[in-house]
Amino acid sequence: MSNSMIIGQYIPGDSFVHRLDPRSKIAIIFFFVIIVFFANSVMSYGLLALFAIGSAATSRIPLSYIMKGLKPVWFLVIFTFLLHLIVTKQGEVLVSILGWEIYEEGLIQGAAISLRFFLLIMVTSLLTFTTTPIEITDAIEELLGPLKKVNFPVHELALMMSISLRFIPTLMQETEKISKAQASRGVDFRTGSFKDRVKAVIPLLVPLFVSAFKRAEELAMAMEARGYQGGEGRTKLRELHLGKTDVYLYILFILLVIGLFLTRS
Amino acid sequence: MDISFDKVSYTYQPNTPFEHRALDEVSFRINSGSYVAVIGHTGSGKSTLIQHLNGLLQPTSGEVKVGEYHLKANEKNKQLRKLREQVGVVFQYPEHQLFEETVAKDIAFGPQNFGVPQEEIHRRTREAVKATQIHEDLLERSPFDLSGGQMRRVAISGVLAMNPQVLVLDEPTAGLDPNGQKEIMDMFHRLHKDKQLTTILVTHSMEDALAYADHIVILNQGKVYMESAPLEIFKQQQALEDVQLDVPEVIQFVTKVRDQLGVELEYTGQSIAELAKELTRIVKGDRVYE
Ligand SMILES: Nc1ncnc2c1ncn2[C@@H]1O[C@H](COP(=O)(O)OP(=O)(O)O)[C@@H](O)[C@H]1O
Ligand SMILES: [Mg+2]
């Protein structure tokens, strides 16, 4: 079970990408997502791909591992590609297979859209590979900071996020543990009719809910016992700092944007 | 059932940065009807090891044999169901597996899955709650209304009701009060003898290993570090200390008496109080002052 669940799991390291301020990483990814949609020539896509692959290489996370993490979304990428190939009917007919005509434009659009998709997923998963969940929530809290002025519950939102993120691995472990215990008592999660399999989930879900509620209660009590009363006036254990590396990243990114607009057709 | 591990290795999350070899060429044999304690530090691979006994985990390499059932790397065993009916596993904190509306239903869950007839399930339920000392009045209560200790007993009853031939216990008394611990360990020992079970106990307690087991396997970093009869194991104090394991107090007492007083006490399962009396008898002649 845990083998397939590795998408976006943080991998400790000390690379350039790891050391960046999480706010920079999130901001850059935000803008990257936007500029990806401006690419429209081979050169401009090439630049974006170079940036994404370069970041992945600098992070020193094995490429094979990144690809493995992308496994669940390969399907989507390929599906998008095929959809465009089939639906688009513009440009010259390239080949026709068993009555299906494949148009030049379909091939180009299919390739372009799935490449975009691929780049987006790669860059965002690089964020979660190189940034701890706590850093991510801290960064989001800071970035959304201005919204506090309009009474948007930024701190509460960030707290909710960090608590959920904190408990995802715990819940996954618990799921694995309980499903093993029930399998030992003869539950078969893999075979049987649809109805049987739905029934097999109950012995798994009930204990999970029970323990999740118990945990939530304990956590609330522990927080209250330690005098937690919201974000007002709370200081941070880990302050975020922009460093030299962040400046390099911004410069690089601005160059990328300039390059992108120069190579657009 | 005879059990054997033949060069069994197990790797968690292979081919990822989190790859971890939890078992490393582990080999040993357990004879049918014996009571084996598996000891080792947290993370030494004990829980990983026992999950091979009913096919929850499949060896990455090597072979596990449990009676007539064989579990090999890269080979699906088609009789897992039958194997699981005969190997009952009490996990760490087994009360987390409770889910039914009533205690009785939860205890019946295992046997039901294995197709045991209703009458027989009733009989086994009564037998199981008697063994674990759960009052029959609790049978119709919700398991979630019970105390932690009672929940533990209900969960254990659920495994016993499967009537397994092999009983696997992963730190079954962790977190219980000392009285409860002793009651439950004694109960398992009684069942072991009465039903001629093969019992595998994972424990941190050297005292329990000494008191109940007739064979001890010590794991260290996924490897078998030592394996022998309890008294043989505890003779090797230095080797145990090298992996931060203690020698039970009674044995320490016997060793100290020998080293400091030059008196040889023979240990045959007595308590420290009994040994102390024996010592007085020897030192002061035959007159014992009570
Ligand atoms: N599901 C899992 N995924 C990855 N690693 C695991 C998993 N379960 C256990 N491990 C690792 O395997 C090693 C042995 O664990 P375990 O068998 O639970 O040890 P023990 O029961 O002796 O404390 C530990 O280092 C643990 O971190
Ligand atoms: Mg364990």
Tell me, what's the pLDDT at B287?
55
Span A83-107, average pLDDT: 79
Span B22-28, average pLDDT: 95
Q: Which residue of B has its CA nearest to A207?
A: B99
Tell me, what's the pLDDT at A27?
93
Q: Which of B15, B16, B97 sits opposite A182 (nearest CB)?
A: B97
For residue A96, report the phi and psi dihedrals to the nearest 5 degrees.
-135, 120
Residues of A in contact with B10 (CB under 8 A): none
Segment A164-186, tens digit of pLDDT: 877 888 888 999 999 999 999 99
> Which runs of consecutive H residues, i.e. helices, occur in chain A?
16-19, 22-36, 42-58, 63-69, 71-87, 104-130, 133-143, 154-184, 194-225, 244-263
Tell me, what's the pLDDT at A5?
47
Q: Is B51 on the interface with A (CB under 8 A)?
A: yes
Tell me, what's the pLDDT at A8?
60
Span B115-131, average pLDDT: 95
Residues having C-beta closer than 5 Å to ion ligand 2:
B 47
Tell me, what's the pLDDT at A110?
86
Q: Is B162 on the interface with A (CB under 8 A)?
A: yes
Q: Which of B9, B18, B26, B48 to mutate to test the pocket of ligand 1 (most atoms within 8 A of CB)?
A: B48
Q: Which of B21, B24, B47 to mutate to test the pocket of ligand 1 (most atoms within 8 A of CB)?
A: B47
Tell me, what's the pLDDT at A1?
38
> Atom 9, ligand 1: which residue's CA is nearest?
B48
For domain B3-247, the CATH architecture is 3-Layer(aba) Sandwich (3.40)
B97:A178 CB<8 A: yes
Q: Is B130 on the interface with A (CB under 8 A)?
A: no
The three-state secondary structure class of A155 is: helix
A181:B17 CB<8 A: no
Tell me, what's the pLDDT at B289?
53
pLDDT above 90: percentage of residues in chain B: 70
Tell me, what's the pLDDT at B201?
97
Task: Give the global pTM.
Answer: 0.80
Residue B87 CA to ligand 1 centre (angstroms): 21
Q: Distance (Å, rounded) from C-alpha B215 to C-alpha B232?
A: 10
Segment A19-65, tens digit of pLDDT: 899 999 999 999 999 999 888 888 899 999 999 999 999 998 888 77
| A-B Cβ pairs (cutoff 8 Å, strict) | 71
B84:A6 CB<8 A: no
Residues of B in contact with A182 (CB under 8 A): 97
Count of all residues that appear for chain A in the document: 265
3-state secondary structure chain B: CCEEEEEEEEEECCCCCCCEEEEEEEEEEECCCCEEEEEECCCCCHHHHHCCCCCCCCCCEEEEEECCEEEECCECCCCHHHHHHHEEEECCCHHHHCCCCCHHHHHHHHHHHCCCCHHHHHHHHHHHHHHCCCCHHHHHCCHHHCCHHHHHHHHHHHHHCCCCCEEEEECCCCCCCHHHHHHHHHHHHHHHHHCCCEEEEEECCHHHHHHHCCEEEEEECCEEEEEECHHHHHHCHHHHHHCCCCCCHHHHHHHHHHHHHCCCCCCCCCCHHHHHHHHHHHHCCCCCCC
Tell me, what's the pLDDT at A84?
84
What sign for the dihedral angle of Cα A15, A16, A20, A24?
Answer: negative
**How is chain A split into domains, by residue range?**
16-131+242-263, 153-226
Contact B3, B68 (CB under 8 A): no
**Which pLDDT band, with edges at 50, 70 and 90, does B102 fall under?**
very high
Tell me, what's the pLDDT at A233?
74
pLDDT at A99 over 80: no
pLDDT at A238 over 90: no
Tell me, what's the pLDDT at A156?
87
Q: Which residue of A has its CA nearest to B12?
A: A3
Cα–chain center distance at B163? 16
Tokens representing B30 are: 């357990």
**Which pLDDT band, with edges at 50, 70 and 90, does A196 fall under?**
confident
Least confident of A232-241, B126-135, B184-193: A232-241
A132: closest CA of chain B, how far (Å): 16
pLDDT above 70: percentage of residues in chain A: 97
Q: Which residue of A has its CA nearest to B164?
A: A185
For residue B91, which ligand has an atom nearest its CA? Answer: 2
Segment B44-101, tens digit of pLDDT: 999 999 999 999 999 999 999 999 999 998 888 888 899 999 999 999 999 999 999 9
Nearest atom, ligand 1, residue A173 CA: 1
Q: Which of A3, A187, A203 sits opposite B13 (nearest CB)?
A: A3
Q: Distance (Å, rounded) from C-alpha B179 to C-alpha B188?
A: 14
Span A198-225, average pLDDT: 91
Span A183-198, average pLDDT: 83
Tell me, what's the pLDDT at A93?
77
